[in-house]
Chain A
Amino acid sequence: MHDDRLVIAGREFRSRLWVGTGKYKDFAQTQHAIEASGADVVTVAVRRVNITDRSKENLLDYIDPKKYTILPNTAGCYTAEDAVRYARLARAAGVSDLVKLEVIGDEKTLFPDTAGLLEAAKVLVKDGFIVLPYTNDDPIVAKRLVDIGCPAVMPLAAPIGSGLGIRNPYNLKIIMETVKVPIIVDAGVGTASDAALAMEYGADAVLMNTAIAGAQDPIAMAEAMKYAVHAGRLAYKAGRIPRKLYATASSPIEGML
């Protein structure tokens, strides 16, 4: 598996598990979970600095940007305009042109507003960003995003934080056939088998946050996810047997008494 690297826009990634950094108890737990997951890409949000409590620690004190690829998101943005503003602020605060583009359509489901997403993606690609869009499991939107110039697409498995697992494996399969860029299944994974399944279907990577951070033991779950993504990838590359209705004997009949 050493040569099985994920390449997006000329950048190589060692890990096919990407993780978010939200919802942890504290920065130390965040750091331990990320280490246990083996992820080399971590997503972060961009927010106002707390200027009244200057003693507050910085996330980047715990997650070394030299060791990890920091992938800023535009979480919490409900319009294309806001998402573009946050993407530009993220670029100004960081060191790269990478952005995980989110334009949220609805507070209850956190489903993407795909019209706003396409609009924001167009602006940001033109502006030189490497846009990784969080999108619905809609093959047509995925194709449009690639046409605009997104070097990967990130369709959801289920609503963010829901833990429902892959709701529409058939759509994911169609997306994988439709677009020729890496597919990163993002959001909705609940447990290790969901992540393994995503990889077995042929996803190039899986991104998750809540499934790890919200587990009773986040560090153990992070490790479970590492193995699940690895196992799913291996199984995908190995090529599974076809499903059959009836049995096929594994032991030969020949030589029986």
Chain B
Amino acid sequence: MTIRIRVPYDERMSNGIRIEVNGEPRGFTGETVSDLLHELSLTTDRVAVELNLEILDRQEFARRRLQQGDRVEILSFIGGGAPRCRNHEEGGSYA
């Protein structure tokens, strides 16, 4: 079931909608996930997008429209083996 929320025309034009991206609230005047990635200068082939906990296929980026209150997570690969061991970071060494 889709619940449609009416957004006053002038408000949409001036401020866009409010969404949350990677935990930070922000305004958004575009329409789709692709628009958001473009706005953030992110290359679509290197990121994963989770929209309200649903992981999107890349082909969906251009189709999925964002709505007021949506929570978007954008992730990509970073250097990693494993997180640092706490002891290690505290400088504790053995032997």
Contact = CB atoms under 8 A, between A and B. Distances in A.
Interface of A: 19-24, 27, 30, 43-49, 51-52, 54, 58-60, 70, 72-73, 75-76, 88-94, 102, 104, 107-110, 159-162, 164, 187, 208-210, 213
7 tightest Cβ-Cβ pairs between the two chains A and B: A20-B81, A209-B81, A45-B80, A93-B48, A92-B48, A21-B79, A44-B77
B91 to A, nearest CB: 12
A45 B80 CA distance: 5
A49 B81 contact: no
Interface string B43-69: 100111110000111100000000000
Interface of B: 21-24, 40-43, 46-50, 55-58, 73-88, 94
B75 A47 contact: yes
A44 to B, nearest CB: 4
Contact of A110 (B21, B49, B74, B85): B85
A93 B46 contact: yes
A22 B22 contact: no
A49 B47 contact: yes
Given A49-B47, A88-B55, A93 B22 contact: no
A51 B77 contact: no
A142 B88 CA distance: 27
Contacts, number: 130
A210 B22 CA distance: 29
Contact of B46 (A51, A52, A58, A76): A58
17 contacts: A21-B80, A23-B84, A30-B79, A45-B77, A51-B21, A51-B40, A52-B24, A58-B46, A73-B80, A76-B82, A89-B50, A89-B75, A90-B77, A92-B55, A93-B75, A159-B85, A162-B85
A59 B80 CA distance: 10
B2 to A, nearest CB: 23
A162 B92 CA distance: 10
Given A76-B82, A110-B82, 18 more contacts: A20-B79, A20-B81, A44-B80, A45-B77, A59-B77, A72-B77, A75-B83, A76-B83, A89-B50, A90-B48, A92-B56, A93-B46, A93-B47, A93-B48, A109-B85, A110-B85, A161-B82, A161-B85
A59 B47 CA distance: 12
A23 B83 CA distance: 9
Contacts of A89: 48, 50, 55, 75
Contacts of B49: 92
B59 to A, nearest CB: 11
A54 B81 contact: no
A184 to B, nearest CB: 13
